Every structure is written in structure tokens, then in C-alpha cells.
Structure 1
Amino acid sequence: MNPLTRARSPQPPGPDFPAGRQVTPWPGELRPVPPPLDRLLRLSLAGGRLRPAASAGALHPVNAHLLLGRGTPLPPGRYAYDPVRHRLIARTTAPADAPPGAVAVLTVTARRTVCHYGHRAWPLLLLDTGHAAAALALAGAPEWCPDADVTLLAQAAGLPPDWRGAEPEHPLAAVRLTPGPRDVLERWAAHGPGAPPPPTPHMPPPVLEETWRILDGLPGATAWLRAEAPALPEAALLSRRSAEPPLGGVPERHLLEAVLATARRTTAVRWGLRTDTAPEALAARAAGQHWVGHAGALLLAHGCPDDAPPAHVRHTHLHAGYAVGLAQAVAGHLGLASRPVGSWQHGPGGPPDIVHALTLGAHSEGTHRP
């Protein structure tokens, strides 16, 4: 069965297994995050279990590897970001001719999501990466690259070609944190890889190994895009959280239009806005989350059929996660309750190929706070 068809099928995931470490234990010296990267990371990825970037099941599989070249406050090299401690781990050094500027390569530790969502997890990993890229863009990152070849991204980040029993990370996108050359990834890829983290005590079940194979087979081509993110106050970025259901009340039309206009900055998917969500139809497709049918409004991203080429699947899911990340931040700033929904199955309600959604309610009292 096609992997996307299976992910959208009613087949339930298997039993949960250990999620592993919350942060990859890379070897290297711990460094404080220097300005101006301190503000950018603090407003986007920093925190413990509750982080500003939305994640399916609050499992946060996305990691950031910072490639710091000339003109940055730290010695040139590759640094892994620890979002729980808000620190950088110095992984590898770089020669004096390292490209100028700072770039983040976003990777995923698939186990953290597959442990709960099983065969449905790999599209969620793409959506989560898009959300993380959106969080960085909202914090001021100027550009992002959602389609670079995964081998190029791995080489640029200095990921080990042999993980030696460690939990692997799979690169899916890059975000430019400061201005730099267009060929920054290619120039970093010319430098050798670093050492792997310690081996994991957890054996990979078959569904995790299958997810690794899918992530390894997502092709792309390097193209940097301007980060089309709205300007929001710092307080809005720090306070965004997904609201607990129910998300009742239909928001005012002008507020819904503002959220929809934000999502439509991304044209890789088609967008729909519904205020007539039917519990028996759409909610039945939302992985059993029946509260979806009672939300005040539903912003839907669709346009990726099951038989789409892997490059198209990657492109649409990354962009959908990115757009919903922007839209959720705007919704919170407008005082609306919101909650992303990433896992969608086949069914009669709504478009046949839902990629992602944002549920919306008129009141934000249920919104989490850190």
C-alpha cells in the first residue's frame, strides 16, 4: 500500500513504545546562545515540553543544527541547539573560509512521533518541521528552504553517515537566520561530518525503520524562499499555545478572513474555511477527534493526493505546516482559540486529500500558558 494511503487509512496505530530522549545528547561543549540568535531562538523553539512551535501530541521531534560562519558571535562551526536548556552544543569546528552568516538545518528524530502515531507519523513529522520553520520566521528569520536535497542537508549539518547505534536524525528543511551566500548549504557540505551521539538503548521497531526509509526517499531541489511572516509583538509569540477543546463559538468574519489571508501567503496547497463543520463527517476523519466537528470554524489545507510523487508530498506538507503555524500565531494575537489538527483519514466529509487544518473558536480562555 502507498505510504500516504496507509497513513490516511482508518488502520489504527500499533501500541506505543518508548519515545527516547527529548533532546539528542550530542557530544561537545555547552555554550550560551549569543545575541542576536538568543532572541530569535527564545521566541521560536526554546522551552521544555510546552514550546511556542506546535507539535503533534506535544512530542516535538524537530531539532535545529546551527551552521555559524564568519561574522557570528561564536567561533565558526556547527552547533546543535538544546531547546530545553536554551544552549548550543559545539559539535564541529570550521575552517576560516566557512561561509558567513547563520543557518539552521531542521532535522527530525522520528522515534518521538512514531512511538505514538505509528504509520501515521511521517506526514506529521513534515508538518511539525513546517511549524518550526514558521516559528523561526515569525521571530525574524528572513528566508527558508523547504525542498533542499536531504543528502545535501545532512552533509551541510555534518550529520554522521554512520550513526553507530545512535538514534538517527533526518534533515527536512533549512532556515536562514542571518543574511549569507546563496550556496551556503553547498559550502558547508564540503566540510566533514562530526561524531555521532551515544548509542540508544531502544531497538527500532519495524514501523520506525519504515518511517526512516520514507524520510530518506523524499527528494528536492535547493531554492531559498522569502519568509512571508506577519510582524507580531513579542508577547504574542511567547504566549501562543494550542487551546484545549472544545473550541466553541464562530469567530467574527473579519477575524476569520485575517487568519485565512495569513495562510494563503502559502500557495503550495489549496485553502478552505468552514463554519458548518459536521460532527459525523469531518470529525470522523480527524483520527477520532470528535470535538473537531463542534469547533467554531475550520481552516483546511488540501491538495496532495495519495499517489502524489514524494517530492510533492514533502513540498505540500512542509508548506502546510508552515502556513498553519503562521495562521495560528495570528489567531492567537486576535484573541481566538486555535488548535492544529494534523492526522486526517479518508472519508466523505470535506475535500478528499486534507493535508492539515487549524480549528478555531471565538474564545481563547482555554489557551495554555507556559
Structure 2
Amino acid sequence: MEDLREDRPVDLVAALARARSPEPPGPDTPAGQAVRAWPGPPRPLAQASPTGLDLGMLLRLSLAAADDTGRLRPVSSAGALHPVDTQLVVGAGCSLPPGRYGYDPLRHRVHRLGPQPEGTPPGVTAELSVTARRTSSHYGHRAWPLLLLDTGHAAAALFLAARALGTDEPEVRLDGLTETPLATVHIPPPGERSPAPPDAGTRVPPPDDGTRVPCLDDGAGVPHPDAGARILHRDAGTRVPHPDGGARVPHPDGGIGIPGLDGGTGVPRLEGGTGVPRLEGGTRVPRPDGGARVPHPDAGARVPGLDGGTGVPRPDGGARVPHPDAGARVPGLEGGTRVPRPDAGARAPRPDGGTPVPDSQAGVGPPTPAELLARRSTPPPMPGTPPRDALRAVLTAAAGAGTGDLRWCAAVGPPQPALVALSADGTALRRIAAGEARPTLAVWAAGQAWLADAGAVLLARGCPADADAPHIRRAHLRAGFAVHLAHVTAQRHGLAARPVGSWQQADLGAALGAAPGRDFVVHGLALGTCHADEENTT
């Protein structure tokens, strides 16, 4: 696995196809240094003036390690390997002299790399790239999606830290057009809106009616991730065959059957070689908690799906659940448009002009520093289905920040297992498929059995098999960004939460009866009402 900074381009299309395949990773390899070896002596981060941007606090709330190993940080990372490297382009109004710096998150120090580029605006621009070796040391060929997701999480951590410090609106670029840096976050000093960056192509014009996106993160709003960025040009791209070519997928535990979407009875292989796992020989699957086993269905039975867009058969033989319009968009920002931030006591208008969201759901302020420092990935298990209002808030936070190439839904557990999504006006949850999906997700998510008993699993879906490299980068960066904001939202609602980034053959669209290779799980967030420590002591 090459480092992105080396002059050896990565075939991202082929890398993603292989990461999605059932091929297991090889043995662990050395991860190398936990921090990039920046040249020059380290410099402390001085405290800012009352009117300046405190870079020390900004980084402490977002990227800095809280322990000597570097694993414990305010930002999520697959395997706590933290591959993201940060360069800071510092302009006027900051606690460091203008210039370019490399950041050391273990020692919370910076290394001056040179002068700032001409035309650098006030504030700081964080340029995010990755050292792929850290992640590939454990995940092998599955590393590339995780590297991109981790970068999106880091961008969101910087964004939330800026909001906690009361800066003007940060500008986040997640357009996927460049390999280095993969993403940038510009943060102006408090009370000073930065000028537009130099024009490098056609840009999405902001609307006249505001600058913020309503987001149920109990915060003051989340911007569209690439607002103000270049309009993306999609090439036709090379079509990539479905990773498994329709072959059967062995269970990670050695050929054990896979529970599935038909009321907990198992997912048979779909017709047409779509790559949905097939159960072999009627093998039963033990529950992760050692409880009852899930029986295998008759061989060759079909997964209940949205056949022809007509709906999902209910397990009890009742009415079908209408399939959502294939062309519909998850409520959120279209084309980089932003929505004004609601005033206190006001009702936040929906982007699609539907029913406004009550102010009690639209957020009461930005996150506090204490909340950001307390953010952690909950260790499993995390049972307990979240309340509908809390789940709707988490879905809205994700959909508001991760629009465009992604759609969002959640698999929920008892008493009514189903896949749910936001209603068209964003004020309620609607069911898009009936039946138990979590055990199948557990197998798709690198065989993490505990996921079968999570209270709910938020899912970002999209990124088809024929996506080109910019599309792949953009979808994964946005998914990481959105899941990080959703994670903080879940924390504010008292939920246990843990991001899930590694997915193999997770063709959710095909499992629901749509065309294969078009609608893969890109990222997930497991949710529950009971934390592991509570579960283990009761």
C-alpha cells in the first residue's frame, strides 16, 4: 500500500473493488511512525489574543492525542491508527505567525515548513492528507476506503472545534478532485469572515437567503461539505465488475450461514449473481450473545425486496411498504445551496420547502469544548433501539452534511425491525423495508458479530461499482464527515455510538431488489441506548 505523498499513483477504482471483495487481509505489517516526521524544531502553540484564533485550542478539540500512544483522540479512526496528517497554512489573526506548519498531534506542537502562499486569507487552512501505511499495516488491501473515511472524520472534527470556539462559518472542501490534500478546512478568526479563495474554476453560487444548513445536531447548523467549492465534473469512468462476480461469500467464521433481511430467517442468494451471500446447507448461525440460533431458510428462496419498485412484502403477509422514488434525494442541500440558521424560538425551514422543523429539534447551539473532548467510540455491545426522535435527529444530522452522492437510512431492531429513512419533509421516519437487517450488516461489516445486536445502524449508501476516482473520494470523504457529525448528535441524545467503516460486498440496493452494483454501504454508525459498561455490570 503506497503512501499518497509518494510519486506512485494509486488506482483507486481497483483498490475499492478489492476492498469490497471477500478477500481477507493478510497478516499485520509494521505501521511505521505514528506521526509524520516534520522537518525543523518543534514549536509550542501559544495562546491567542482575545480577538485572534486560538490554534492550540482548535487542535486540542479536534486532532490532538490525549495519551502517549496517540490512540485516544477527539476524532474517530479505524483501528485507532490515525493516518491523517495535517499541514496548517496560517494567515493573519492567529496564535501563530503567518506561514506553513506541520502539526504533531502526539506532542501538540508544530514545525514551521516555510512561508504562507501569496494571497493566504486571515485564519488557518488545514490541509489533510494521509500516510496510508498506518492503516494498511492492519487492514491491508481494505485500507483505502478507511483512509478516506478517516479524512472526512478529521475534517468534521476541525469544523466542530471551530464552531465550539465561535468562529465564523468554516469552509470545508470535500470535492474529491485532488489526491493531496484530500480535504481542506478553512477557519477564519472569530468575527472576521474570510475572503473568497482565488478562483480556480466555476463555483457553486451561494443563495441569497442565508449561509447555514439546518442540522439536528443540537448545534447551530452544518454547512454543505463542499459549499463554495468547484462544480464537480464527472467523467464516464471505467466500469468495474461486481467484486465477487456473483460468487458465494463465505462467512468470516468459516462457511457459516448468514442471517438476513427476511424477518431474521436468513439472506439467500439473489438471482442473477448479484453477490448477495448465499446460505449453505441449512447451517444455523449462533447469536453473538449465545442465545437462540437463527434458522436457515429453504435454499433458493429470495430476499424480500423492492421488486420493480413496488414495495417490500411484510413478514406477516400484510401490505407492502412503498418503495421510495429512485430519483428522490434525501432531504438536505442540493447543489451546494445553504439554508439560513434559525433564530432562537424560530422554526427551521426545510430545504425542500416542506413542513418546518420545530426549534426543539433544530438545535440549541454549537457543541461545547467539553462535549468534543468527551466524544469516544463506544465499545460493543450497545443494545437498545434508540427512541424515534433521537434516531430522526441522527439521520437528519447525517443527511444534512452528507448530501449529493449519498443517501441515508438506518436498520433498527425490535420491536419492529426494519430499514427506515427520513420522510420527504424530514419531520418523521418512514419505513423503506420490513424485516431484520442487522445480522446481515454484521457479516458485511467484516464479520463483526456484535453489530447484529446493536440497537440501530445508521447507513450511508451509494458509490456504485463504476464510480471514478473523484466520485469515490468525494463519497467517502462526505460519509466520514457526516457520520462524525451524526456521532456527536447521538452523544447529545445520550446514545452509545461507534462508527463502522469496513464493508465487504455490502450491496444494499441489490438486497432490496434493485440493480446490483449501484448502491453499496459506504459507512455506518452503530447506535444503542445501553453502553458496554452498563451492559457488563447489570
TM range (shorter): 0.7 to 0.9
Taking the TM superposition and a 5 Å limit, the aligned residue runs for 1:18-97 are 18-34=30-46, 35=48, 36-47=54-65, 48-94=70-116
1:339 alignment partner AA:
R
Q: Which residue of 1 aligns with 2:172?
A: 144
Deviation, 1:96, is 7.8
Question: For residues 333 and 323 of structure 1, do their structure 2 counterparts lie closer, same or farther at Cα, with a shift above 3 Å needed?
Answer: same
SS at match of 1:107: strand
User: What SS class does the counterpart of residue 89 from structure 1 fall into?
Assistant: strand
- Measure, in 1, the Cα distance between the counterparts of 2:117 and 2:84: 28
- Report sequence identity in percent: 52
Please say if 1:318 is aligned against 2:481. Answer: no
Task: Give distance in 2, aligned partners of 1:348 and 1:135.
Answer: 29
2:483 aligned with 1:338, yes or no?
A: no
Larger helix percent: 1
Summarize the Cα distance change of 1:38–1:348 in structure 2 as closer, same or farther, 3 Å threshold.
closer
The amino acid that maps onto 2:108 is: H
Amino acid of the structure 1 residue aligned with 2:178: V
1:101 Cα deviation after fit: 2.7
SS of 2:181's equivalent? Answer: strand
Partner of 2:196: 182
Distance 1:5 1:96 in 2: 40
Secondary structure of the structure 2 residue equivalent to 1:326: helix
1:363 aligns with 2:363: no
How far did residue 119 of structure 1 move? 1.1
Runs of 4+ in 1 over 6 A off after TM superposition: 223-230
Shift of 1:358: 0.3
- Residue 117 of structure 1 deviates from its aligned partner by 0.9
1:4 alignment partner, SS class: helix
Q: For residue 233 of structure 1, report the CA deviation from its aligned partner.
A: 2.0
Task: Letter of the 1:364 partner, please give it.
Answer: H
8 Å Cα contact 2:85-2:129 kept in structure 1: yes
What SS does the corresponding residue of 1:272 show, helix, strand or coil? strand
Shift in CA distance, 185/174, structure 1 to aligned 2, threshold 3 Å: farther
The 1:84–1:308 alpha-carbon spacing in structure 2 relative to 1, beyond 3 Å, is same
Structure 2 counterpart of 1:270, from 396, 407, 410: 407
Structure 1 residue 223: deviation in Å? 6.6
What secondary structure, in the 3-state scheme, does the structure 2 residue paired with 1:343 have?
Answer: coil
Alpha-carbon distance between aligned partners in 1 of 2:119 and 2:147, rounded to the nearest angstrom: 34
Matched position secondary structure for 1:111: helix
Contact 2:381 2:532 in 1 (8 A): no
TM-score, with structure 2 as normaliser: 0.55
Q: For 1:113-152, what aligned pairs fall within 5 Å after superposition?
A: 113-140=135-162, 142-147=170-175, 149-150=177-178
Shift of 1:73: 3.3
Partner of 1:282: 441
Q: 1:92 to 1:355 in 2, by over 3 A?
A: same
- Deviation of residue 6 (structure 1)? 1.3
> More displaced, 228-237 or 106-115?
228-237
Matched, 1:173 2:152: no
CA distance in 1, matches of 2:98, 2:369: 29
* Structure 2: distance between partners of 1:303 and 1:134: 20
RMSD between aligned residues: 2.6
TM-score (ref. length: structure 1) = 0.78
Aligned-partner Cα distance in 2 for 1:38–1:223: 33
The corresponding residue for 1:197 is: none
Q: Shift in Å at residue 118 of structure 1?
A: 1.1
CA offsets 1:142-174 (integer angstroms, 9 cap, x no match): 1111126437xxxxxxxxxxxxxxxxxx42000
Q: Is the 8 A contact 1:262 1:330 kept in 2?
A: yes
Q: 2:29 aligns with which of 17, 35, 43?
A: 17
Counterpart CA distance in 1 for 2:472 and 2:32 is 27
Contact preservation (8 Å) 1:337, 1:366: no
> Does the 8 Å CA contact 1:281/1:348 hold for their aligned counterparts?
no
Deviation readout 1:2-52 (Å, 9 max, x if unpaired): 332211111011111100001111112322223311221111111121111
CA distance in 2, matches of 1:22, 1:74: 24
Larger Rg: 2
Give the superposition deviation at 1:65: 0.5
SS of the residue 2:377 aligns to:
coil
Which residue pairs with 1:166 in the alignment? Answer: none
* Greater length-normalized contact order (CA 8 Å, ≥ 6 residues apart): 1
Counterpart of 2:526, as a letter, is: T
Deviation of 1:98 after TM superposition, in Å, equals: 4.7
Per-residue deviation, 1:364 = 3.4
Query: Could you tell me which residue of structure 2 aligns to residue 107 of structure 1?
Result: 129
Relative to total residues, which structure has the larger strand share, 1 or 2? 1
Determine if contact 2:382/2:530 at 8 Å carries over to the other structure: yes
**Structure 2: segments with no counterpart, 5+ residues:** 1-12, 49-53, 164-169, 201-228, 233-335, 342-362, 418-435, 513-518
Aligned to 1:296: 455
